[in-house]
């Protein structure tokens, strides 16, 4: 899942929200130095990702575009699922998306000093760009895919790819991808709730 879903699935505390975002930026060896509530958010993020990656409905979504995008199809679907969640947010929350985004940004901003510089820089730009609201539009998702492509090109230039080129395929499959998401996401919400209520191991 991508950032909007991870924030939504957190326990709503600043630390849990921050952990849900920085999990993609913090090396496993560095997790131990994070505050305990942020570590719990990182742990939940990774459990959610594991559940998502194994789920047959998600695999079905990936299969809808995998012929062209191969290994990157999972990344593309994670991001597009955030688009479906954002545009149909009232199905999953009584809090307006604008209010949720502002609350999430405020929570993240209070803890930026506790995380590595790279992650903090990403989150500042994420907030400044109002990325959570932009997920609700196709243009915002296309821009997000382009930004991820730039990050991939910097980190692993041999695997550089323009993920935004998937937009025509995603829009062509939008009805089916939306149905996949709405079949899958309630199960993920229930899974995350169980993780949050379970004692830490």
* Structural domain boundaries in the chain: 3-197
pLDDT of 34 reads 86
For 118-165, write each residue's pLDDT tens digit: 788 888 999 999 999 999 999 999 999 999 999 888 888 888 889 999
pLDDT of 198 reads 59
- 77: nearest Cα among 91, 89, 92, 65: 65
pLDDT of 199 reads 46
* Spatial CB neighbours of 166, under 8 Å, sequence gap ≥ 6: 65, 68, 69, 76, 145
pLDDT of 120 reads 86
Average confidence (pLDDT) over 186-195: 96
C-alpha torsion angle, residues 181, 182, 184, 189 (rounded to 10): 110
Tokens of 150: 């730039």
The backbone region for 26, taken as left when phi is positive above 0, alpha when psi lies in -120 to 50, beta otherwise, is beta
User: Is 35 or 85 the better-scoring residue by pLDDT?
Assistant: 85
User: Is 35 or 94 the better-scoring residue by pLDDT?
Assistant: 94
- 47: nearest Cα among 14, 13, 10, 85: 10
Mean pLDDT of the chain: 91
């Amino acid at each position: 899942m991508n950032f909007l879903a991870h924030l939504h699935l957190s326990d709503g505390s600043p630390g849990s929200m921050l952990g849900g975002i920085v999990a993609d930026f913090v090396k496993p060896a560095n997790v131990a130095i994070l505050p305990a509530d942020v570590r719990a958010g990182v742990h939940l993020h990774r459990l959610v990702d594991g559940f998502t990656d194994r789920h047959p409905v998600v695999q079905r979504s990936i299969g809808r575009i995998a012929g062209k995008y191969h290994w990157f199809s999972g990344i593309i679907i994670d991001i597009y699922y955030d688009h479906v969640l954002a545009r149909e947010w009232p199905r999953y929350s009584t809090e307006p998306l604008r209010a949720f985004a502002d609350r999430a940004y405020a929570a993240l901003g209070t803890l930026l000093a506790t995380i590595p510089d790279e992650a903090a820089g990403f989150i500042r730009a994420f907030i400044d760009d109002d990325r959570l609201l932009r997920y609700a539009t196709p243009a915002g998702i296309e821009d997000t895919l382009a930004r991820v492509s730039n990050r991939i090109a910097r980190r692993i230039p041999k695997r550089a790819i323009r993920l935004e080129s998937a937009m025509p395929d995603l829009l062509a499959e939008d009805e089916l991808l939306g149905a996949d998401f709405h079949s899958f996401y309630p199960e993920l919400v229930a899974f995350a709730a169980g993780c949050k209520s379970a004692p830490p191991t």
